[in-house]
């Protein structure tokens, strides 16, 4: 997987995979090639049980300035853009079964923000700026922005950001829950440190906890509580759960096996 992409760099180190958007000459704008590569990379990572956490970063001063207007237009008319290859690339990130952390610096707008909304933990440096600015370009968010943004920041704030297209700085983004951590210094180092915190936990627990949260959000509370309990009982049957108990009683760090 590492080294086979044109617009991405994928690095695997132990249990951690780093997926880095690498089109700084185009401010990491998303074209059909990058979209297909993001979809393929996260789909492939989902079939790698030895990787427990993925970190999404971007090269250059900006995370992503949205879709690339120079992407070739569809043959059926310049006013309609084609569906990107493979499946919709944010869905590949959202469907990744293990935790995804996104580290943002600089500007993150349009489709770039829609991509970041698919991450479970979103970190940003104080200089980061966010905007859902598609209406300013005469189009709509089409990669989940109208659905994921209100689920994260609430309907009122989501409508404010979508209908105005205004930019908000990272401190405000943290205040409304758009990002989960505001970090100083190097975003890559901060994302790696956060990933290490996640990796201290067992891979089965990480997967089931993520599933409980995301599935539960789509259900009435009484049904969501059933999902939580079912997943709890499933984890209780695993070797990792026995290891967690033993490590607690023996006052040592657990050695997770993922089974």
CATH classification at residue 61? 3.90.226.10
Same domain for 216 and 178 = no
CB 25 within 8 A of CB 62: no
Residue 129 covered by a domain: yes
Residue 255 covered by a domain: no
**Taking 50 as the threshold, does the pLDDT of residue 78 lie above it?**
no
pLDDT at 160: 97
Residue at which a domain ends, from 184, 199, 214: 199
Residue 257 covered by a domain: no
Residue 120 covered by a domain: yes
Q: What mean pLDDT do residues 98-102 have?
A: 98
pLDDT at 246: 79
Q: Using alpha carbons only, what angle is made at residue 55 by residues 36 and 96, rounded to the nearest 5 degrees?
A: 55
**Taking 80 as the threshold, does the pLDDT of residue 8 lie above it?**
yes
Q: What mean pLDDT do residues 220-238 have?
A: 93
DSSP 59: S
**How many Cβ atoms from other residues are within 10 Å of residue 156's Cβ?**
9
**Taking 50 as the threshold, does the pLDDT of residue 79 lie above it?**
no
Sequence-ordered list of residues with C-beta below 8 angstroms from that of 138, at least 6 positions apart, any chain: none
For the stretch 140-190, pLDDT in tens is 999 999 999 999 999 999 999 999 999 999 999 999 999 999 999 999 999
**Taking 70 as the threshold, does the pLDDT of residue 80 lie above it?**
no
For the stretch 142-154, pLDDT in tens is 999 999 999 999 9
Residue 232 covered by a domain: yes
**Taking 70 as the threshold, does the pLDDT of residue 102 lie above it?**
yes
pLDDT at 3: 62
CB 198 within 8 A of CB 101: yes
Residue 258 covered by a domain: no
Same domain for 129 and 52 = yes
**Taking 80 as the threshold, does the pLDDT of residue 76 lie above it?**
no
Q: Which domain holds residue 217?
A: 203-250
Out of 17-26, 81-90, 233-242, pick the least confident: 81-90
Residue 138 covered by a domain: yes
Average pLDDT over the chain reads 91
Same domain for 192 and 68 = yes
CB 121 within 8 A of CB 104: no
pLDDT at 72: 64
Same domain for 146 and 74 = yes
Residue 259 covered by a domain: no
Same domain for 217 and 192 = no
Of the candidates 234, 194, 217, 220, the one whose C-alpha atom is nearest the C-alpha of residue 102 is 194
Cα–Cα distance, 180 to 123 (Å, whole number): 6
Same domain for 159 and 231 = no
Q: Based on the structure, what is the number of domains in the chain?
A: 2
Same domain for 215 and 145 = no
Reported pTM: 0.91
Same domain for 209 and 169 = no
Q: What mean pLDDT do residues 43-52 have?
A: 94
**Taking 80 as the threshold, does the pLDDT of residue 250 lie above it?**
no
42 token code pair: 């996260």
Same domain for 162 and 121 = yes
Region label for 136, one of left (φ > 0), alpha (ψ between -120 and 50) or beta (otherwise): alpha
Same domain for 218 and 185 = no
Same domain for 238 and 129 = no
Same domain for 207 and 86 = no
Q: Residue 242's domain is classified under what CATH number?
A: 1.10.12
Which band of pLDDT confidence, cut at 50, 70 and 90, is reported for residue 116? very high
Which band of pLDDT confidence, cut at 50, 70 and 90, is reported for residue 56? very high
């Amino acid at each position: 997987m590492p080294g086979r992409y044109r617009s991405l760099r994928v690095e695997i180190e132990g249990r951690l995979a780093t997926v880095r958007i690498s089109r700084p000459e185009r401010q990491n704008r998303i074209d059909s090639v990058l979209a297909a590569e993001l979809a393929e990379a996260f789909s492939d990572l989902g079939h790698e049980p030895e990787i427990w956490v993925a970190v999404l970063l971007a090269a250059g001063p900006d995370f992503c300035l949205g879709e690339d207007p120079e992407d070739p237009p569809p043959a059926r008319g310049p006013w309609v853009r084609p569906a990107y290859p493979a499946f919709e690339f944010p869905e590949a990130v959202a469907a990744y079964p293990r935790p995804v952390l996104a580290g943002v610096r600089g500007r993150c707008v349009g489709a770039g923000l829609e991509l970041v909304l698919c991450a479970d933990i979103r970190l940003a440096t104080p200089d980061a700026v966010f905007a859902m600015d598609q209406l300013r370009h005469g189009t709509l968010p089409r990669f989940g922005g109208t659905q994921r943004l209100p689920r994260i920041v609430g309907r009122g704030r989501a409508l404010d950001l979508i209908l105005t297209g205004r930019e908000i700085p990272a401190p405000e983004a943290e205040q409304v829950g758009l990002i989960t951590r505001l970090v100083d210094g190097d975003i890559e180092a901060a994302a790696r440190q956060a990933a290490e915190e996640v990796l201290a936990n067992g891979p089965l627990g990480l997967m089931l906890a993520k599933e409980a949260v995301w599935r539960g959000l789509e259900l009435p509370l009484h049904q969501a509580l059933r999902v939580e309990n079912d997943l709890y009982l499933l984890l209780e049957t695993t070797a990792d759960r026995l290891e967690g108990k033993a490590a607690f009683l023996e006052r040592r760090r657990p050695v997770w096996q993922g089974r």
